[in-house]
Amino acid sequence: IVALFAGMLTKVGVYAMIRVLGGVFAPVFEALQPFVLTLAGLTMVLEPLNPWRDHAGCFLSKVPQAYMICRAVNSPSVKILDDLYHQQITEGNLIPNIDAAYSEIAYFQVGDNPGRKEPGTGEINYKRIFQHIHAKGFDGIIGMEHGNSIGGKKGERAVIDAYVAVDSFVND
């Protein structure tokens, strides 16, 4: 089964296999999913979302929950997407939470709070967070998932300037 499906994987391939084949095979595919992902060289990330502002009723809302799931699955192909916007709303205490789950974090998403705009428009000290994860040797992905606080070309320039500012610790 693994050899058959490993070549067919896409971003949603494993989920599609479970849905399409379903029935009595679903538990087998769910159990094999981390193994199949590993064989295919893929990583699935779990993203805790805030249940108060953006995702009411969401089950996975805190990084410690995602960390426990990753440790239970115990696969290099199942990791955490730590969306700092959501975690500031849900938990705060960002750097200690990063440290507590660091071994399972593969991806950070950036968006300031409130407003989910570029760094520097809210309360999150992204310069300090970037400095911290850089010092830890983070070599995963840092993604931008936010809007612009200003429209047009001026807004695009503001986003670039914001990232230059939060990256400036490298030159300090």
Active site residues per annotation: 47, 145
Beta partners for 143?
A: 109
91 closest CA partner among 118, 65, 126 = 65
Residue 125 CB coordination number (10 Å): 16
Helix (H, G, I), strand (E, B) or coil at 143: strand
Three-state secondary-structure class, residue 79: strand
